[in-house]
Copies of this chain bind each other. A is one copy, B any other.
Amino acid sequence: MEYSNCWLQYKKISDIKKSAILLFCNTEGKISVNAVRELTLAFQALYGREIIKAKDESDYRDAGSGIFLKRTVPGEIGEEGYHIKCLEGKCMISSVSETGLLYGVFALLRNLQLQKVTDFDTWVWTEEKVPSNPMRMLNHWDNMDGDIERGYSGKSFFFFKDDIIVNDRIKAYARLVSSVGINSVAINNVNVKGAATELISGRYYGKLGSLAEIFGAYGVKLFLSINFAAPVELGGMDTADPCDGRVRTWWAKKAEEIWRNVPELGGFLVKADSEGRPGPFTYKRTHADGANMLADAVKPYGGLVIWRCFVYNCRQDWRDLKTDRAKAGYDNFMPLDGQFSDNVILQIKNGPMDFQVREPVSPLFGGLSETNIMLELQIAQEYTGQQRHVCYLIPWFKEILSHNTCCELEKGTVADIVSCRTYGNNHGGIAAVSNTGKDYNWTGHELAGANLYGFGRLTFDTGLTAEKIAGEWIRQTYGFHEKVRENVTKILMMSWPAYEKYTSPLGIGWMVKPNSHYGPEVDGYEYDRWGTYHRADHKGIGVDRTDSGTGYCSQYNEPLSALYADRNTCPEELLLFFHRVAYDHILSSGNTVLQHIYDTHFEGAAEAETFLNMWEELQGLIDEDAYQRALERFKHQKEHAKEWCDVINSYFYRKTGIEDKYHRSLY
């Protein structure tokens, strides 16, 4: 096979002969067919046990062992929630929707696998889950030539040579992501150019329809990234002005045409006025004008418009100390709060910059109160080791979600806000830029599978801990060996902090090689136009974002604003993001900033070395191919972490002339 089943391998647990299980399902849609198929496949693989379709409900009742997939009337658990009750050989999974039933089936199978040996016939277990977030989405940055922007797992499995791929792998993908609760997928890059502009044209409707159907059978909605300038580039018009009646008509007709051909489509994802992409600014219109125009067009079909807030001046003069890219999102979108249509969702990156290993949470969370919003995360490890380094991101996502925005209402965490609990919005949720590609293991690095799995699980149930998710993933992916569980858990849980330690310090970010964003280059973006500066000189480093500097701090609600603005209360891991300090500034550890830089870098690099050692202990305990694939990456990570450590430390050593107090090697 060309691809792995990841955490859906259903490795044999036991094959004690047991009677068949009778299964009854009171609904017959395409999703329930997949639910039944999954159960049948899994019980056979896990226990060598047959599942036989019951004729009717009474047949199920009379059976010794049975499973009932029961579609119920709307109630407490919402559209996609499920209730499971397993009692000595009888298991009932109920939900309002077939999608909920499918989630219940995956939940049952997951929980069975987490037990070393489960006797289904004596098992007593119950679970009720309502997804934490309405939208649980993956954004793929796949280009239609088959490349993936910021892709680290091989080529696209959606596109090849400007055509759409429809094959078994697409189905396997839908099944994988559905099994962790993903319900929305945008398949093409937000930078929509060339053939991708034509996705909303007759050229592609046939295959899009097939994709949407495959996805739909797993409860997943297909979304398309669209080109805001489509009326010009596709329609041959002379404008894409959202307030021009002809443009509005063009989009309305286009939407009618799209949904007539691809009725299951979820809607559009839009990157506008961002890094060179067209948008409403071209026509002196607001982002609300732009988004609402599209929202009107898609509304008759239940379509959504997901509008990205990644809007900033990417042609900044590095000499300019006042302009601050961090402020751009808030400056651009806060004045529009309340102006967006109810089928528009603003998609906001977790931080104000761009997916660095550490950033403060964007002040738009806790700022916008009358707008549907979604959190945008990135599991593609663009700035976190590009799936050559292990970097388990779920602990970072947990921190972001539990961040209290100090908005006036009681439920004020990011998790509360994006789940719609705070403001009672129509729509909300979490999206992640996907880390998948055509590699056998889907994610390049074996252990990056934990990010794909974990993102889904966390968006479905934000109450889960990172450790719990890691444990689930390890058991389902690698089986039951205790040493495997122990070492892989350690590696995963240490990995994000380690990556932070050996890369850019104290929240300042960047310091990567331009374009590739891989490997250290301290001044790589320092004299460039991207608004990402550390401002290091021989005395100090950091950006003053208090009122005496760029004023970014004041975009936060109080008391956060004051907390960040005071270097004594600012979280130390964000010190250089908010403040410019001298290298001899003393941290809570009693060390200077410079000594802290030296220490954390040596520490982080040493930890990367232990990852390799821990992994080497697993040879023979897991699949040899998987072992070897990851082994190469761990070896590289060890070397590359040392490179990071030495470059960063030497840069500051050369700049300051100050020795490491432990006299370790600096160059």
Q: Which residues of chain A have a CB within 8 Å of any CB of chain B?
A: 318-319, 513-514, 520-524, 527, 536-539, 643, 646-647, 650-651, 653-657, 667
Contact = CB atoms under 8 A, between A and B. Distances in A.
Given A536-B654, A538-B655, A524 B527 contact: no
What is the predominant secondary structure among interface residues of chain A facing chain B? loop
A527 B650 contact: yes
Contact of A667 (B319, B514, B539): B319
Given A318-B667, A646-B319, A656 B538 contact: yes
Nearest to A318: B667
Contact of A657 (B537, B653, B667): B537
B514 A654 contact: no
A597 to B, nearest CB: 16
A73 to B, nearest CB: 63
Contact of A514 (B318, B513, B527): B513
A527 B522 CA distance: 10
A537 B659 CA distance: 13
B667 A538 contact: no
A47 to B, nearest CB: 52
A521 B524 contact: yes
Contacts of A656: 538
Contacts of A319: 646, 667
Contacts of A650: 527
Given A538-B538, A667-B318, A667-B319, A523 B655 contact: no
A521 B318 CA distance: 13
A521 B513 contact: no
B657 A527 contact: no
Contacts of A657: 537-539
24 contacts: A318-B667, A319-B646, A319-B667, A513-B514, A520-B527, A521-B523, A521-B524, A522-B523, A523-B523, A523-B651, A527-B643, A527-B647, A527-B650, A527-B651, A536-B654, A537-B653, A537-B654, A537-B655, A537-B657, A538-B538, A538-B654, A538-B655, A654-B655, A655-B655
Contacts of A536: 654
Q: How many copies does the complex hold?
A: 2
Contacts of A651: 523, 527
Nearest to A520: B527
A658 to B, nearest CB: 9
Contacts of A524: 521
Contacts of A514: 513
A513 B643 CA distance: 19
Nearest to A541: B654
B521 A527 contact: yes
Pairs of residues from A and B, 3 with the lowest C-beta to C-beta distance, nearest first: A537-B654, A527-B647, A319-B667
Nearest to A667: B319
Contacts of A513: 514
Contacts of A667: 318-319
A232 B537 CA distance: 53
A215 B345 CA distance: 65
A133 B651 CA distance: 48
A277 B447 CA distance: 35
A320 to B, nearest CB: 9
A189 to B, nearest CB: 23
A142 B163 CA distance: 31
A90 B382 CA distance: 75
Given A318-B667, A520-B527, A655-B655, 17 more contacts: A319-B646, A521-B524, A522-B523, A523-B651, A527-B646, A527-B647, A527-B650, A527-B651, A536-B654, A537-B654, A537-B657, A538-B538, A538-B654, A538-B655, A538-B656, A538-B657, A654-B655
Nearest to A658: B538
Contacts of A647: 527
A42 B656 CA distance: 67
Contacts of A527: 520-521, 643, 646-647, 650-651
A453 B446 CA distance: 57
Contacts of A522: 523
A393 to B, nearest CB: 27
A319 B538 CA distance: 21
Nearest to A647: B527
Contacts of A318: 667
A490 to B, nearest CB: 30
A644 to B, nearest CB: 10
Nearest to A643: B527
Contacts of A653: 537
A656 B657 CA distance: 10
A202 to B, nearest CB: 30
Nearest to A665: B319
Contacts of A537: 653-655, 657
A50 to B, nearest CB: 55
A95 B523 CA distance: 60
A643 B514 CA distance: 17
Nearest to A654: B537
A532 to B, nearest CB: 14
A514 B516 CA distance: 11
A287 B563 CA distance: 67
A421 to B, nearest CB: 46
A63 B74 CA distance: 112
A524 B647 CA distance: 12
The listed residue with most B CB atoms (<10 A of its CB), out of A537, A646, A653, is: A537
A650 to B, nearest CB: 7
A536 B656 CA distance: 12
A510 to B, nearest CB: 14
A526 to B, nearest CB: 9
A539 B657 CA distance: 8
